[in-house]
Amino acid sequence: MIFLLCAIFVESSFPSSYYPKIDFELSDKIVHIIMYFTLFFCFYYSFVNQHKSRMLNVYALFFSVLFTSLYGASDELHQYFVPNRSCDFYDWLADSIGAVMALITIYLLTKFYKPFNRFILRTNDTSK
């Protein structure tokens, strides 16, 4: 997870002129959705497998979407200070949509596909 957080920060530190132009609409938003979908999954995996905070463990879905969305907001604020980059509400919205899509995916997998519970929980405790 730390690697992904750092990768997002470093990537957003480059000026926009550094990246090649992609000629289809919403390509930038799709990248945001995929990155923050992945970040949500990393947060969730970390929270359900940690044992220091019961609240983070029990409410892992909520805290994962919260932290993913907050990181997206902080990344957009960071881009405000990068030359040729901007702080874009719609990029943050795409980040949050990626988090919500991951939340729905994980919720459905844990509810209807029991082998996923064994995969996600290192202790193989599927009672959570």
Mean pLDDT of 95-110: 94
Is the pLDDT at 128 greater than 60, yes or no? no
Instruction: Give the length of the chain.
Output: 128
Is the pLDDT at 24 greater than 70, yes or no? no
* pTM exceeding the 0.85 threshold for the entire prediction: no
CA distance 69 to 92: 8
CA distance 73 to 75: 5
Residues 67 and 47: beta-carbon distance below 8 Å: no
CA distance 104 to 102: 5
